[in-house]
Amino acid sequence: MAICANLSHTLTSKFKKANLYYVAATVVLCCTFYVIGLWPQGGDVTTIQLSSTAILPTLPCNPSIKTPNPTPSSSISIDFTAHHTADSLTALSPSARVNHFPSCNPEFSEYTPCEDSKRSLKFDRNMLIYRERHCPEKNELLKCRIPAPFGYKPPFRWPESRASVWYANVPHKHLTIEKAGQNWVRFKGDRFVFPGGGTMFPRGADAYIDDIGKLIKLKDGSIRTAIDTGCGVASWGAYLLSRDILPISFAPKDTHEAQVQFALERGVPALIGILATNRLPYPARAFDMAHCSRCLIPWGKYDGLYLIEVDRILRPGGYWILSGPPINWEDHWRGWNRTADDLKAEQDQIESVARSLCWKKVIQRGDLAIWQKPTNHMHCKINRKVFRKPPFCQEQDPDKAWYTKIDACLSPLPEVSNVRDVAGGPLVNWPERLTAVPPRIASASIEGVTAEGFSKDTELWKKRVTHYKALDGQLAERGRYRNILDMNAWLGGFAAALVDDPVWVMNVVPAEAEVNTLGVIYERGLIGTYQSWCKAMSTYPRTYDFIHADSVFTLYQDRCEIEDILLEMDRVLRPQGSVIFRDDVDVLVNVKSIVDGLQWDSRMVDHEGGPHVREKLLIATKQYWTVPAPDQDKQ
Ligand SMILES: C[S@@+](CC[C@H](N)C(=O)[O-])C[C@H]1O[C@@H](n2cnc3c(N)ncnc32)[C@H](O)[C@@H]1O
């Protein structure tokens, strides 16, 4: 503006007699063009200087690109090119790079750090505490890459994978013998074949689900999310998927050798987990249906503690389905090697706990019994005078479920004003549920997220996923990927954008996230879990085909080592699987240097908004490699 003032003064003295209007018009035009000249660089001189100096000094620059002079000068030549395009970014200098991580010993090829049997034996056997998560201390963390077994092949594609798994990928035959009569799994040449049987459904899960469908509505979209407790090889979940019902199956690492590993190889959503002393890692009011077929969980014991936990995670009006002992003991007690009295007492106990939770027994027919959670707690609050146990929980966040002990108290549902109301707000049926405003957002219980913000987020992720597919041909190829992990899922927008693809997404809401959004994800009809990325995930090596890591490394920057998170990602990623990282450019430069050490192929690309955005994408693919052939090993 000083230049404009000087110019104005000179002009007035030189052309004293000139028409004042003419002079004024010239001054105005001069100033206008000066300002327009600045505009393409951001419209504000201060902004240009700040953004340039904030980014460039921290990055190794390509010498062919000129560094702008940060001091304003009249001789400055305005340069409109972007100075931090992804192409110009290189990883840290070779000396700053992490050395290549070596391969771990072949015996670690199925290593699950938090469910390691050697470590677990040091813990209490009471209530199966020893089978819960017990993760290595920092000084015990492996600094090597978990190898795939020799002969590992990319898993069969869905839906073939539901019935076939390569033997080389999960070389464990134990269940083919132990569960032969129940049709869980058979061994055939180079592969396992899964006929769909289970302990309570030797005729196959499909026929069993048909039986359930005769008792409650499975087809109208009111039941979308489900949980299978004690899942075996997850055939129940596998056959629900073809009915547009999205299950999470879990079971511990116990004598049912590699059961969850089989489930994952089959392309069925599953986690290693157990109902013991900690809450299951899901928010309250998450599932439309919970299921146990002879899952060996002592439902009536410990004052109904485990049914209290099922109650917490069931949505209002959700169903609990039980088959196996003690249901239909009258027909089965001899085969179950238990006395009729014992089984009857167990059933009485379960019925009594269910009543104390205000559940309604919907039906018991044949081998199936079904209960329903109330849609609100109006009556339940009144009848606490009759049922003193369990009391309602006081001042406890029902959504908190990461290393949270199960308390023997009933998680209160949100208040309602009418006995017919659904606590927390009703859910619409699937598939509309995916894009309808989730009740938690409509009721403003998610800090900083409005209904409008939610819809915009859905649209944003549609665009981003289209961009991702242009960058990663494997993601775009229908059927190439099946098991997908979103490490920081926010509202589940990434998963929602993939809904028409034959994939499932495990949406993780980090335990450290400022806002807990996992409840919203479930209200959309998607599934997920809590997880702290400072620790290992409860899953097997080579679980996921694709990982999305949005702002993960910014979130964990001062919390734990980037290197440890990346080694964990390497563990759970399948050979030839890929990862898209989305993060601040400086963070990604560091990530890239470690990813190089993992021997992944990677490249940095610009944000879909263009090169001027600090946020960038890093696309990486894990190479295919396995342990050497056994005879090669000896050489
Ligand atoms: C007999 S198998 C039944 C498997 C499957 N539900 C079926 O019908 O084929 C028992 C299952 O319960 C699991 N299980 C045992 N105790 C458990 C617990 N406390 N929490 C979760 N799962 C458990 C076992 O690991 C196994 O998967």
Model confidence pLDDT, tens digit, residues 356-377 = 999 999 999 999 999 999 999 9
Cα 301 → chain centroid: 32
pLDDT above 90 for 12: no
The response to whether residue 232 sits with its C-beta less than 6 Å from ligand 1 reads yes
The whole-number pLDDT of residue 67 equals 30
Which of 115, 175, 277, 295 to probe ligand 1 with, by most ligand atoms within 8 A of CB?
295
CA of 537 to the centre of ligand 1 (A): 20
Higher pLDDT, 3 or 633: 633
The 3-state DSSP class for residue 384 equals helix
The whole-number pLDDT of residue 158 equals 98
Residue 354 · residue 374 · CB < 8 Å: no
Using a pLDDT cut of 70, give the percent of the chain over it: 84
pLDDT above 80 for 14: no
CA of 146 to the centre of ligand 1 (A): 28
The response to whether residue 296 sits with its C-beta less than 6 Å from ligand 1 reads yes
Q: pLDDT digits over 26-65, tens only?
A: 555 654 555 444 443 333 322 222 222 222 222 222 333 2
**580 half-sphere exposure, CB direction, 13 A CA radius:** 23
Please provide residue 138's backbone torsions phi and psi, each rounded to the nearest 5 degrees.
-55, -40
pLDDT above 60 for 93: no
d(CA 276, CA 297): 9
CA-wise closest residue to 533 among 570, 560, 500, 494: 560
Higher pLDDT, 289 or 60: 289
pLDDT above 50 for 1: no
Summarize the confidence of residues 129-148 as an average pLDDT: 97
The response to whether residue 258 sits with its C-beta less than 6 Å from ligand 1 reads no
The whole-number pLDDT of residue 292 equals 98
The whole-number pLDDT of residue 27 equals 56
DSSP letter string, 346-363: HHHHHHHHHHHTT-EEEE
The response to whether residue 128 sits with its C-beta less than 6 Å from ligand 1 reads yes
Token duo for residue 217 = 């509505």
The 3-state DSSP class for residue 580 equals strand
pLDDT band at 126 (very low <50, low <70, confident <90, very high): very high
Mean per-residue pLDDT of the chain: 88
d(CA 48, CA 67): 13
pLDDT above 90 for 75: no
The whole-number pLDDT of residue 443 equals 96
Please, is 103 exposed, middle or buried when counting C-beta atoms within 10 Å of its C-beta (0-12, 13-18, 19+)? Answer: middle
The response to whether residue 280 sits with its C-beta less than 6 Å from ligand 1 reads no
The response to whether residue 267 sits with its C-beta less than 6 Å from ligand 1 reads no
CA of 463 to the centre of ligand 1 (A): 41
The whole-number pLDDT of residue 297 equals 98
The whole-number pLDDT of residue 290 equals 98
Q: pLDDT digits over 487-529, tens only?
A: 999 999 999 999 999 999 999 999 999 999 999 999 999 999 9
Residue 289 · residue 373 · CB < 8 Å: no
d(CA 589, CA 585): 6
The response to whether residue 295 sits with its C-beta less than 6 Å from ligand 1 reads yes
Residue 137 · residue 154 · CB < 8 Å: no
Listed range (2-16, 165-179, 448-462) with the worst mean pLDDT = 2-16
